[in-house]
Structures are given as C-alpha cells and as structure tokens.
Amino acid sequence: MQLTIQASGKDVEVISFLLAKNPNNIYERNQNGHLVRMFYSKFTEEEVEVTFFVTPDPIELSRNSSEKYDITSYINDREFVVSSIFCTFLRSALGTALNGKPKEEYASWVSHAFPFKFEFGPLASNLSDKQILDLFEPLGYEVTIAYGDADYNLNLKSKSSARYITIEGLTTLQYGLRQLFVLIPVLDNYKHYYIDQKEIEKVERYGEGWLDHHPKREFILQKALRFKEVYSLVEYEKDNGGTKKSKKDNINVRLNDLRYEKIIHYINNLAKRESIVDFGSGEGKLSNRLGFVSGIKEILAVEPSESATLKALKRFEKANQKEGFLLPTTIMGSLFYYDERLKHKDVMILCEVIEHIDENRLPKIMKTILNDYHPGNLIITTPNQEYNQVYDMAEGYRHPDHRFEWTREEFYNWCNQQNEDGKYELTFDGIGKEHEHYGYPTQMCLFTKKER
C-alpha cells in the first residue's frame, strides 16, 4: 500500500512542516507489527514529493481480528490494498497534517492552497471507474485511473484488476488528506473495525466544509458508515440542527438493536421461556438484554472466542449491579461439538451466526440442534442478501467473514429442509425497515416444537 503526495509552487517546502516530517530523515515506525515508512524523493524550493508505504504483518492482522487463542481467525486479502486499514496505519504518521496543528509559526500555512497531486494504490474496489470519477471530480480534481500490468502464463486477462488512482487539483494539504481519509474507505468494500458514534463523528470532522455540498453525499455516507441505520442518524442530526438522538426518540435505531428487540419480543410471547441458549453470543450484548426479561431463569451464553467471552463477562458483571438482572452463564463452546448441558432448553438462539459457517457444515449443526438438543423453540436470524441493493453493494457480503448470504427464497427453502420430519412449526419474519422490492435487511425464522 502506498500514498504519494506531490506539490509545486513558491514556498512549497513548507509542506514538510505541515507534515511534521524532516526531509533529511527517513520516517520508519512499527505499529503493532505493521511497518510504516516515509521518504522524500524530491525536495526543492518549488517541488516536493513524499511517499508513504505501509507493509502489514498478515500474522498480526489475523491475531488482531480474533485474538491469539480464538478459533474464529481468518485472513482477508483486502488487507494488502489501500483500504480503511491503510488509513488506520497512516493516521498517526499524518496526524499533524490531518488535524492542522503544526508548530505555531507555520499555522497560517494550513489554509494555504498548493497545486497537489495525490497518488495511491493498489486499489481493489467493486466501484466502477465512473463511480470513482464521481467521487473526486466534484471536489475539483482531475482524476487518472491506471490498471496494473499482469503477466499471466495462461493469458486469462491482459490487465490486473488492481487500480492506481491519481487526483490533481488546487487544495490545502489538510483538505486533501481529509478527503482521502473519508473516500478511501468508500472505495473499499468494507471497514475492518466496529462502526459506531465515534466513526460518525470522524466522518463529520473530516468532511467538514466539503461533504455536505458533495452531490454524492448520501452515497458516501452509505459506503463510509456501511449501514442505513447508522448513516441515517447523520441525516437526522443534520436536519435537527445537530441535535443528538435521544433513546426516547426511537428514531433510526441500529439494526443490531432491532434484532435484539424482535428476538425478545418473540420470547416474551412464548408460553415457556425459562431456559435460554444464546449460541454465538459474542460479547454478550443479546444475553445481557435477556438478563432483564421477566420469566427467564437460566441463560447460557455459548461462544468459541475467548476474547469475546472475556468482554461478555465484564458486561455481565456491570449489569449484575442493577436490580432484576439474571446473570448469564458463559460457556466456551461451539456448534460443532455436542454439549449435554444444552439439551431440552425452552429457547435456542442463533442471531447472525449461520452466515459465518460454511454451508456444507450447516446440515450437521442443524441435526445436532433439532435432533439432539431438542429445544422447545429455535430462533435464527441472518442477512437478507437481496437487501444489499439498498446499501448499494454490487457484490460481496456485509462482512468479510460471511461465508454466504441468502435471498428470502433461499432462506425459506433451507429452513423447511431442516424441518423435513415436521416436528416444528415455522414462522418467518423480517427485522428492520422493509423495502418494497427487497424486503427486510434481516430475515428471521422461529422454529416452534409441535405438541404431541
């Protein structure tokens, strides 16, 4: 991954002070095993060229994605191209320029515009060349898109799909970098970190002065914040003079919260709900909420990840200080291994779990659940692949660890196949804001054991 910054004109050498990087020194930093380098290839009174390289450590990336002892680890090749991860690694090196906080004697140069050229790549993006032009040209840049050469013995294709982007225009260093730090993750198809209120604030801060006037503003927010329930919060606050959303407003609730609310709604309407198994409980967010539901006497939070379980324990410990909370029992376990303790529970939950498992392994898991554990009720939620059109996702999944995402018909057929012996009655539902053509963003099925 690399970013090259070129600038020309009178007093252009002041850029070294805006970057807080001495042109006589090679900048090299190790950030948690990932190497960030910078050097000036040109530095004269009228021309400056500086390049930043990022060399990630794939092993460290894998460890960071799931912690050292987890069995949920994976490596994604997008970590080796310009992406949100690239921006994360560079943020410290470019912090002075991004924040516009050089030494006091150079502060006036923060708002000074130079003829800049920014080059970055390789880029792996599902956006078309036209969509990329539509992102940068309204900002006044001339855009060049180049494809890398590929030497394939089988002559499968003449050019690499990786692209290298060059934008040129008159701008300040701070503006140019802030625009890149918003738009580079837009070009990429996913963000590697959790998207929350802090991420909204970062986009608002870096987008100040240009994003509100961009003709593709909504598209940028959709891609930068990924989920409509998050980016629509920006619209809500903008329309209300910057007023932060109150919980009482019940507007633009995050999709994850809507899932939990719908699951709890179904549980509250069950005749038997004393014992609950939350499979793939993660950091314990759903189990934590279940702890406040009346009528429940046992919650088993089953999770294979040690790091996630530790976070869940901290969450439960905090909630346990409140009145009326039922402390969940954490179990380090997996859907792939039978556990006698999970038999004959009133409710078993798989909330956004099955899509993280290879499809060919699902039949065995469902056989274990329905034939061995015999839960009174089974609740399954999973993404609705059709709804990705609403998120303007051309191809790919909502999370890089998803092994598949099903259409409504595929999910309906699959659930019925698991119930071939007819022991359960199936109820299908949707979660989130319904689209006229694509349905709900999350699809859900409730398996209810028939009384004999």
Domains plus CATH for the chain? 2-193 (3.30.1610.20), 255-449 (3.40.50.150)
The pLDDT assigned to 222 comes to: 78
Tell me the per-residue pLDDT of 190-234, one tens digit each, with 9 for 90 and over.
Answer: 544 445 566 777 888 899 889 989 999 888 887 777 644 444 444
Cα 2 to Cα 82: distance, rounded to the nearest angstrom: 7
Q: Across the chain, which distance is largest between two alpha carbons, in Å?
A: 88
The pLDDT assigned to 410 comes to: 96
The dihedral formed by the CA atoms of 46, 49, 50 and 56, expressed in degrees to the nearest 10: 170
The pLDDT assigned to 204 comes to: 84
Q: What is the pTM of this model?
A: 0.52
Q: Residue 347: is its pLDDT beyond 60?
A: yes
Mean pLDDT score across all residues of the chain: 83
DSSP 238-279: HHTTTPPPPGGG--S--HHHHHHHHHHHHHHT-S--SEEEEE
Q: Residue 296: is its pLDDT beyond 80?
A: yes
Using DSSP's 3-state secondary structure scheme, residue 59 falls into helix
Q: Are 288 and 306 in contact (CB under 8 A)?
A: no
Tell me the per-residue pLDDT of 119-172, one tens digit each, with 9 for 90 and over.
Answer: 998 887 878 899 999 999 999 999 999 986 655 454 444 444 678 999 999 999
Choice among 67-71, 141-145, 437-441, 445-449 with the minimum mean pLDDT: 67-71
